[in-house]
Amino acid sequence: MRTTRVEPESHVPSPPTPANQPGDWDSLCGQVASCQRCGLHAGRTQTVFGVGARDAHWMIVGEAPGAEEDRRGEPFVGRAGKQLDEMLRAIGLSRETVFIANVLKCHPPGNRDPKPEEVAQCRPYLERQIGLIRPRLILAVGRVAAQNLLGTDAPLGRLRGRVHSFGERSTPLIVTYHPAYLLRAPAEKRKAWDDLKFACATLQSTQAATER
């Protein structure tokens, strides 16, 4: 099994790993809600912080909020959200038992890809979330999320089927298709199912190794 280690970008300080206290979450939520670090704040309805369990074993990371997410303040709603819910149910999970977030916390106009400078400004928030949650596995859904988390321009096909490693805690990271893509290309759902089974097996082997 091939492993790729990826450290946070050097220009972005890595957050400490504090205890998961309510004050930490309140502070981070407030920082995200009032953020004006890039131009996206001017066109947003609200920021989309993320939802789910603060002590989740799984963290799902997508690209950026869409128009509906911007209106509702929650990631992965609408048809893509229902598809993600189905993916999670297939492996015995739900959005209440995982934590779901995006690389960006604000909606890019026209659902365009995030710009590098937007990712750089928003990345500390995501890293802080990861530091607080301390997930046992990160599932990157879609090319944009995977490339930005791993700092690569490799196509999604080359990133799937491998265990990557994210950050100082070497959190296992698995790449799969974005739910919106699966709605457009249902024939690829079998590959996504393979990715989910691979992620489950990776988590099980990681837990077994820590218990030895």
70 lies in some domain: yes
Cα–Cα dist 110/94, whole Å: 29
Q: Other C-beta atoms within 10 Å of 174: how many?
A: 25
195 within some domain: yes
Instruction: Give the domain CATH number at 48.
Output: 3.40.470.10
Could you tell me which residue, 21 or 154, shows the higher pLDDT? 154
Task: Write out pLDDT tens, residues 91-110.
Answer: 999 999 999 999 999 999 99
Residue type at 189?
A: K
**pLDDT for the residue numbered 207:** 77
Residue 91: which domain range? 20-211
- Inside any domain, residue 15: no
Share above pLDDT 90 across residues of the chain, in percent, rounded to a whole number: 84
Q: Which helix (H) or strand (E) holds 51?
A: strand 51-52
Convert the pLDDT of each residue in 8-32 to its tens digit: 333 333 344 344 555 799 999 999 9
Q: What is the pLDDT of residues 168-201, one digit of tens each?
A: 899 999 999 999 999 999 999 999 999 999 999 9
